[in-house]
Structure 1
Amino acid sequence: MKKPILVLLSTLIVSSIALSACEGLDEQQEAHTEKKPVTLTVRNPKVEIANEFEQMAKQYEEAHPGVRIKVETVGGASDDYSDITAKLTAGKGPDIFTNIGNEAMKEWIRYLEDLSDEPWVDDASPHTLDGITLDGKVYGAPMSIEGFGVVYNRDLFKEAGITEPPKTFSELEAAARRLSSKGITPFANGYYEDWKLGHHLTSVAFAEEGPVFVKALNEKGTHFADSEEFNRLFSLIDLTVRYGNTAPATTDYYTEVDLFKEGKAAMILQGNWVEPLLGDAPTGIFPLPLNDRGDAKMIAGVPSYWVINKQSSELKKKEAKRFLRWMVSSEKGQEYMTERFRFIPAFKNVPVSDLGSLGKETYSLISENRTFNWSSFSPCIKKEFGEIMKAYINKESTRQQALKGFDEAWNEGACAAPSP
């Protein structure tokens, strides 16, 4: 089987430049001239912006008579990977969907349209296309830049007498004890979904270990049990479970966010993407510390890429490319990207505006070079990691058994590509 490869990209620094008044040039030149109406199916993986994405699609339809956008929003607690696999295998996949890049790109390459000639390629911020480029060809547009850490309620921290966000694991543990002593639940834990455990949290440990550890794993020169950072990751899980809500392994993403939003817990392990769900909650975000060095960095980078289904008709692929261009280059598309979706843009031509409190803090950490990048490995390994960690949380296995399970999942390798 193909060996998994972990890619730790160089730190992204997003630069913002003034937007020139050229919104409509491409749109004017590419007015829809097809006589035949076309319906594009767009798979939106962000449940946080489901309504806003629908509204954006309607705006696009109004500006492009003859084009209908059918939005399918997935994610959260749903098994997005299995669903999209089944649809693509059956030849019924959406016209636009997302791919997380790197190994996932290689596994799905037969379904990805070459987008190398699209004008937004030159506007992409440094390194944001690295994960979706193969043999010099670009197969997707970066959706955004996201950061993962500890989202916290400022008012509850203040109520407990915590004046600064924790910078070390010991400080995080002390903060949890202090919150608990004041009758405040420290953590809302939603560990039902595999993606949070198997990708988001493991990315922190992989980033702390660095590429030397990954190389040794691939050469079978080390084991996960030998890793201080992966052992500390399990200590972090222990901490959150000890000071968190009951039944964390059956608590899903939506419930976790609701507990936090309603002020029933002071912290969640999440990222700036939850901003649209939090309303007016007084929030902040800080890097997740696994150790006591005091130099914790936030995990940040491109979470996924918009890709076009190579199986779609030529007409649909043409219109899909135009839709992606509109999102990146038009004034209205850019407004939705930043002000409505609260995305940190991955394009130099998109001005950074109202990102929200979490977005602003994440953007600041990225600008200050205080970030690691998302790790990238096969979706099947992530899923297996998530299931192993969930069993540990349920006390169905020990830490050593879980880490041994990581070894087995890693050595098994990447997913088999879906059959055409």
Structure 2
Amino acid sequence: MRKQNLLTLTSTLLIGSALVLGGCGNNGGNASSPSVSPASSPAGESASPSASAGGEPVTLTAFLFNMDKRQALEETFKKFTEQNPSITVDLLVNDQDYYTVLKTKIASNDMPDIVMGEYGDLLELGQAGHILDLANDAYIGNYSEQIRSQMTTPDGKIYGIPLDISGMGIYYNKDLFKEAGIEAFPKTQTELREAIDKLKANNITPFGLAVADGWTLAHTLFTTIAGTADDVKALAENAKAGQSIQSDRLKQGFATLDLIYGNADPQASSNNYNASLSLLAQGKVAMLQQGYWAYSSIIDINKDAKLGFGAIPYSDNADDAKLGVNVNVSYAITTKSAHQEAAKKLFEWLTTKEGNGIANENMKQIPAIEGVTVSSNPIADDILSYVNAQKVVPWSQVLMNGSTRVEAEAIMQGYFFKKKTAEDVMTEIAASWAKK
């Protein structure tokens, strides 16, 4: 398989756009973040670090929500254990109500050694004293200055380490596009409408959709907000201050949502995430809005699927079509861990070129560490093309509180079933975003 150095991707991505630390696993990190209570003792003082890799055997417990990456992470951690025989890592995975369970673990003083989350969620956990500040750990220097700036809180703390960078856009089946006579992925709403008409004329279902998993619909809103904003970070700050998020561009963006929702497969209302991936992989739908994290699962279903990845068009100006690209979820060490030294040994390895390369090769993701070389694939190449052209925007959802991400699920399900208007959606999301 052809190898490609993704250093250019990381550097250009962070220089060319104001990205925000955060991201998603296969549930998008949309489970409600906990309203956490302060830890009983200051960060780093609640537990004594364990013996190092050369000491007594240690088993780290990692509580994660990315079920679709479980096998890849298990294989990665086995490689770490081969080099550090006294440290093993056990995974606990919950991709349905992750933050609710984590909140229960906090309340019952039953914290794992390692947790994961969005930037905002880890910030809340860190400020409450539940996870360690890693800012002074030497391995943080393995990240580029641009990446570190996205990991750092306003008061100089770093609560987690990201392994990869991801993108959000539309997967499309190249064979079905060719069959319908579509020569290139649409860059405008008019071109998207024309492509849909050509697909339907050839009895090809244009879009897959997973309405039963509300987080997938929430993501269609998040990309619409980001893809129509002049400045996503400024919009987020204004929303938190109670200002309206409505704009002519955002209103026009809902026309794209209508094209996706109105041309989805007949079983869309009952499909879940996995079903939607199967439809795309098996060539039963031509397009699916999803994140890069889904690629490995799609290829597992059909390794011969010929796919491309494009930016979602929200207007009739081709220059407006930009791909959502962001640093992905981060991993953190809890202050209650009795094995902090061993956990930091793992984090140190994951941020080396070797460890980060193994992790991203297994997960089929884009490395967050500069200079790491992993196997290329068509979707990563497409993301790279947008990044190098500086046609990317940051994700909006990582700038929201956890409750807003959850509320967006029901709001967008209401929009799909025509129980809410675009005006309702914009008003309700803005109100939720403004909650303290």
Band of TM-score, shorter chain: 0.7 to 0.9
**Which aligned pairs between 1:68-217 and structure 2 lie closer than 5 A?**
68-75=88-95, 78-101=96-119, 103-109=120-126, 110-134=129-153, 135-199=155-219, 201-211=221-231, 212-217=234-239
Following the alignment from structure 1 to structure 2, what is the Cα–Cα distance between the partners of residues 71 and 215?
36
Aligned to 1:12: 14
Following the alignment from structure 2 to structure 1, what is the Cα–Cα distance between the partners of residues 109 and 219?
28
1:124 maps to a residue whose letter is Y
2:426 to 396, 403, 415: 403
2:86 maps to a residue whose letter is G
Query: SS of the counterpart of 2:375?
Result: coil
1:80 maps to a residue whose letter is Y
What's the offset of the Cα at 1:74? 3.4
2:63 maps to a residue whose letter is R
Following the alignment from structure 2 to structure 1, what is the Cα–Cα distance between the partners of residues 242 and 74?
47
2:102 maps to a residue whose letter is I
Question: Is the counterpart of residue 370 in structure 1 residue 391 in structure 2?
Answer: yes
Q: What's the CA shift string for 1:58-86, capped at 9, x where partnerless?
A: 222233222221012333xx232322222
Identity over aligned residues, as a percent?
26
Aligned to 1:359: 380
8 Å CA contact 1:128–1:142 kept in 2: the answer is: no
Q: What's the CA shift string for 1:174-225, capped at 9, x where partnerless?
A: 111111110111100113334333346324423522345445434445x34x
Aligned pair in 2 of structure 1 residues 255, 63: CA closer, same or farther (>3 Å)? same
Aligned to 1:47: 67
Following the alignment from structure 2 to structure 1, what is the Cα–Cα distance between the partners of residues 221 and 367?
23
Following the alignment from structure 1 to structure 2, what is the Cα–Cα distance between the partners of residues 233 and 202?
11
Q: What's the CA shift string for 1:243-269, capped at 9, x where partnerless?
A: 111353442211110111111101110
Report how many aligned residue pairs link the two structures.
379
Query: SS of the counterpart of 1:91?
Result: coil
Following the alignment from structure 2 to structure 1, what is the Cα–Cα distance between the partners of residues 15 and 75?
30
1:361 maps to a residue whose letter is D
8 Å CA contact 2:135–2:157 kept in 1: the answer is: yes
Question: Is the counterpart of residue 301 in structure 1 residue 321 in structure 2?
Answer: no
8 Å CA contact 1:184–1:264 kept in 2: the answer is: yes
Q: What's the CA shift string for 1:324-379, capped at 9, x where partnerless?
A: 11122162x23423322111111114x23313211122123223321111222111
Following the alignment from structure 2 to structure 1, what is the Cα–Cα distance between the partners of residues 387 and 65?
23
Following the alignment from structure 2 to structure 1, what is the Cα–Cα distance between the partners of residues 241 and 416?
30
Aligned to 2:34: none
What's the offset of the Cα at 1:97? 1.8
8 Å CA contact 1:205–1:229 kept in 2: the answer is: no
How large is the RMSD of aligned CA atoms in angstroms?
A: 2.3
Query: SS of the counterpart of 1:359?
Result: helix
Aligned to 1:292: 316
8 Å CA contact 1:186–1:265 kept in 2: the answer is: yes
Following the alignment from structure 1 to structure 2, what is the Cα–Cα distance between the partners of residues 191 and 144?
27
Question: Is the counterpart of residue 324 in structure 1 residue 344 in structure 2?
Answer: no
Query: SS of the counterpart of 1:69?
Result: strand
Following the alignment from structure 2 to structure 1, what is the Cα–Cα distance between the partners of residues 373 and 54?
33
Following the alignment from structure 2 to structure 1, what is the Cα–Cα distance between the partners of residues 76 and 235?
43
Following the alignment from structure 1 to structure 2, what is the Cα–Cα distance between the partners of residues 194 and 377?
17
Query: SS of the counterpart of 1:278?
Result: helix
Question: Is the counterpart of residue 387 in structure 1 residue 410 in structure 2?
Answer: yes
8 Å CA contact 2:226–2:324 kept in 1: the answer is: no
Aligned pair in 2 of structure 1 residues 123, 111: CA closer, same or farther (>3 Å)? same
Following the alignment from structure 1 to structure 2, what is the Cα–Cα distance between the partners of residues 13 and 356?
23
What's the offset of the Cα at 1:53? 1.5
Query: SS of the counterpart of 1:117?
Result: coil
Aligned to 2:27: none
The runs of 5 or more residues in structure 2 that have no matched partner are 1-11, 17-50
Query: SS of the counterpart of 2:258?
Result: helix
What's the offset of the Cα at 1:311? 1.7
TM-score by length of structure 2 reads 0.80
1:93 maps to a residue whose letter is M
Aligned to 2:276: 256
8 Å CA contact 2:190–2:316 kept in 1: the answer is: yes
- Off by >6 Å, runs of 4+ in structure 1: none
Following the alignment from structure 2 to structure 1, what is the Cα–Cα distance between the partners of residues 239 and 85?
54
TM-score by length of structure 1 reads 0.83
Following the alignment from structure 2 to structure 1, what is the Cα–Cα distance between the partners of residues 328 and 185?
25
Following the alignment from structure 1 to structure 2, what is the Cα–Cα distance between the partners of residues 367 and 64?
38
Aligned pair in 2 of structure 1 residues 368, 62: CA closer, same or farther (>3 Å)? same
Question: Is the counterpart of residue 338 in structure 1 residue 360 in structure 2?
Answer: yes
**Which aligned pairs between 1:29-44 and structure 2 lie closer than 5 A?**
32-35=53-56, 37-44=57-64
The runs of 5 or more residues in structure 1 that have no matched partner are 1-9, 15-29, 414-420
8 Å CA contact 1:98–1:305 kept in 2: the answer is: yes
Aligned pair in 2 of structure 1 residues 238, 207: CA closer, same or farther (>3 Å)? closer
